[in-house]
Amino acid sequence: MKPYAEMTKEELESLRAQLKAEYREYQGKGLSLNMARGKPCKEQLDLSMGMMDVLGSNDDLTCEDGTDCRNYGVLDGIKEAKELIGDMMENPIDSIIIYGNSSLNVMYDTISRSMTHGVMGSTPWCRLDKVKFLCPVPGYDRHFAITQYFGIEMVNVPMTPTGPDMDLVERLVASDEAVKGIWCVPKYSNPQGISYSDETVRRFARLKPAAKDFRIYWDNAYGVHHLYDHDQDHLIEILAECKRAGNPDLVYKFASTSKISFPGSGLAAIATSPNNMEDIKAQLAIQTIGHDKVNQLRHVRFFGDIHGLVEHMRLHADILRPKFEIVIDTLESELGGLGIGTWTTPKGGYFISFDSLDGCAKAIVTKAKKAGVVMTGAGATYPYGRDPHDSNIRIAPTYPSQEDLRVAMKIFALCVKLVSINKLLEAAAQAGSDPAPRAQ
């Protein structure tokens, strides 16, 4: 089929009638399919059920160093958990603090602490007139929600296939003392699945911030979440690169096992420099006596070591790979060559990013919903929920079954077609000519 933009008004109208009939048929089925959130599916959760057996009432819940995991104490995590998570994060154990179950909570706490107490002795942000964060877009809605909650002004930075637009990042960071941070999902980014190039990471490590309390919020949520065994993205380790660049304190690195063991019952962690660590621990010691060491021990006993964890991730990949392929294949077969959308083909992570013609995303998501397919809300991938092009849609293929996903993606593609035709016809009507708008 030829690109929609090259079709005549009559061709588009005839096509629309046919697609509408298809759409109505799906609507009649009363479907309820969900591609909204990056949730693991039941089969993935089942992979970790063995974790429920590694600590029994006859087991010794004592660490190698003699710590009884059942009692109070140990602020920054038991040594064996720091080793496992350190290996996962590619950082030495003395740069790691193990937290509770949520890396989002760690990020929230990091910003909250900066608001009330500043960063390594800087003025608390709550006393400043203006605090800004750079937000590579499209990005992760829950990141943006934190900065919005604290009244931090968010500045969009466009993503490129190699990461954020680093010319812009360098300029903004160097010129504006109000810029205190940047949100990054550097590997298999949310939602595009882009991994930052070596050059991008090097430029991050070499930033020259106007603000001494500027930090990179490096949310390496998908560090070991590959889809393929050999065809994997590789990311330069940022802490080591910052140290080499003479900027050891520039970065907070976050990770968790939420999408490795059980979401909500995993381990979250931060890795950072000794100076930042000291700053954080001074606060952490006031906030808590310690996090859940029994759960730390449970994870260590279940995975054994980093090799065990990597092998476990292969099992996740076996479940997720076909789902990603269903999405990509459906997009290819249904929308390929039509000029009404582009999409990413990630090698890992939890999402695929779709870009429609300008001004179509909201309508597509609404139309899909009316046929029983729930997508992430259009705009969610932008600060304040405002996608200036109204074009980006995040596809989360992990939770539905393959069968459901096939149907959901068919419906999604159908909605893209219908909304795009409407858009093209409207544009043509306004221009008083046959449609030929720019496909992006």
Binding residues (CB under 8 A) for a copy of itself: these are 37, 39-40, 42, 45, 48-53, 55-57, 59, 61, 68-74, 100-102, 104-105, 108-109, 112, 115-117, 124, 126-127, 142, 145-146, 149-150, 258, 262-265, 283, 286-295
Cα–Cα distance, 89 to 312 (Å, whole number): 16
Of 235 and 320, nearer to a copy of itself (C-beta) is: 320
Nearest distance in Å: CB 47, a copy of itself: 10
Query: Tokens 């990770």 appear where?
Result: 255
Nearest distance in Å: CB 211, a copy of itself: 19
Of 133 and 196, nearer to a copy of itself (C-beta) is: 133
Of 136, 95, 385, which Cα lies nearest the Cα of 255? 95
Nearest distance in Å: CB 357, a copy of itself: 32
Of 227 and 267, nearer to a copy of itself (C-beta) is: 267
Write the DSSP symbol of residue 348: B
Strand partners, 415: none
Of 61 and 315, nearer to a copy of itself (C-beta) is: 61
Of 340, 339, 355, 331, which Cα lies nearest the Cα of 410? 331
Of 39 and 410, nearer to a copy of itself (C-beta) is: 39
Cα–Cα distance, 220 to 255 (Å, whole number): 5
Nearest distance in Å: CB 428, a copy of itself: 44
Using a 10 angstrom Cβ sphere, with 0-12 exposed, 13-18 middle and 19 or more buried, the burial of residue 202 is middle
Of 17 and 286, nearer to a copy of itself (C-beta) is: 286
Using a 10 angstrom Cβ sphere, with 0-12 exposed, 13-18 middle and 19 or more buried, the burial of residue 366 is middle
Query: Tokens 């995040």 appear where?
Result: 394
Nearest distance in Å: CB 107, a copy of itself: 9
Nearest distance in Å: CB 40, a copy of itself: 7
Write out the E strands in 99-206.
132-137, 153-160, 163-164, 179-184
